[in-house]
Amino acid sequence: MVASRRMLERVSLVIGGAALGIFSTLYYRQTSLPVRLPEKGISPSESTPPESKPLPFDPPFKLPEPIDQQFSRKAYIVSYDRRLRHPNLALEHITKESLKRSEGVDRSKSYFREDLDIKPEIFRANLKDYFKSGYDRGHMVPAADIKTSQEALDQTFLLTNIAPQTGTGFNRDFIGNHVAVPTHFYKIILATKDDENSPDGKLHALGSFLLPNEYISSDQPLDKYFVLLENIEKVTGLEFFRGLDKNSTIDLCKVVKCQQLVANPKYVKEELRNLQIEQKA
C-alpha cells in the first residue's frame, strides 16, 4: 500500500507498505528532528537501564533478559519479540536518495534466512515454522524499499524482519507451534519536508493505520483503516515520536492520496521460487 512515484515527486511525501510492528519515519530529505525509538512498558522518567540501579539484594544468578532484542541493520532498526518470534516494530528512514537502486542490487539473489543473532536458539523463528502453514512470510521493512546495497537488501529477508501474513490458506494462533500469528498490522508514517512557515522549519504529516491480518480487497480505500496514533500506542504500549509536537502535525491523507497498489507479480514468483528451494533442501 503505497503512494505512486509521481505522487512522491509532486508532494515530497512517501507512504510505506502496511505491516505489523512497523514504525516508519519517512523523509523526503535528511531532517534534524530528534526521533527516538519508542519505549515499551516504562515511562520516560523510568527509562534508566535496571543494571545501572542498585539492587535490594545480590541475586545468586543472572536476572532474565528482556524479551525484546533490538538490532541495527544496514538500512533499518528492528525490535524482535523473543516470546512471539516476530518484530514488535521496525524502523526505516526513506529519503529520495535511498530509493535509488545501487548497481548490482538484485532481489532475486536474496532468500529468507533464520537470524543467527537470536540466542539462545529456542527464541529463534525457523523457516520450517512457515512451511505449509498457510501464511506468507511478510516483510515488516519491505524489501522493495531497500536498494542501497545487496547486503542491506538481504537483511530484510532475516526472519527477525518477518511476521505471518494471511495468504491463500488459514491457520490460527501459532504456526509451527512456535511463531505467533498477529491479528492486526499497524503502520505509522511521519513524512517531513522543508517549510519556512513552520516554527522548526519543517512540515510534518502524520498517518497511522491499523489493518486486520486477513484478505483485503484492492478496491478498499486505505483511509478506511486510519486510526488515531494514541489508540495504537495504548494497544502496543509504545510511545511513538517522542519529542515531536503531534498537535502541530497535519493529516497525511489530506496532502497525499492514500491508496492501495497491487503487489508486483514478479515478487510473488520469487516467493514461490524460494519455497521450492526450501522443499528441495
Asked if 86 is an active-site residue, the reply is: no
Q: Can you read off the three cell numbers belonging to residue 80?
A: 524482535
Question: Is the CB of residue 75 less than 8 Å from the CB of residue 8?
Answer: no
Cell 519455497 -> residue: 275
Q: Can you read off the three cell numbers belonging to residue 87?
A: 518484530
Angle at 68 between CA 73 and CA 154, to 5 degrees: 25
**CB environment 94-130: b (16+ within 10 A), e (fewer):** beeebeeeeeebebeebebebbeebeeeebbbebebb
Cell 514478479 -> residue: 266
Q: What sign for the dihedral angle of Cα 55, 56, 59, 65? A: negative
Cell 545501572 -> residue: 52
Element (H, E) at 184: strand 184-194
171 is in an annotated binding site: yes
Phi, psi of 199 (to 5 degrees): -55, -40
- Selection from 34, 38, 26, 43 nearest residue 70 by Cα: 38
Q: What is the dihedral of CA 256, 244, 201, 204, to 10 degrees?
A: 0
Angle at 259 between CA 256 and CA 261, to 5 degrees: 130
Give the three-class secondary structure for 260: coil
Q: Can you read off the three cell numbers belonging to residue 134?
A: 498457510
Find the catalytic residue in 139, 178, 184, 204.
139
Residue positions counted in the chain? 281
Give the three-class secondary structure for 223: helix
Annotated binding site for Mg(2+): 171
**Which residues are catalytic, by number?**
139
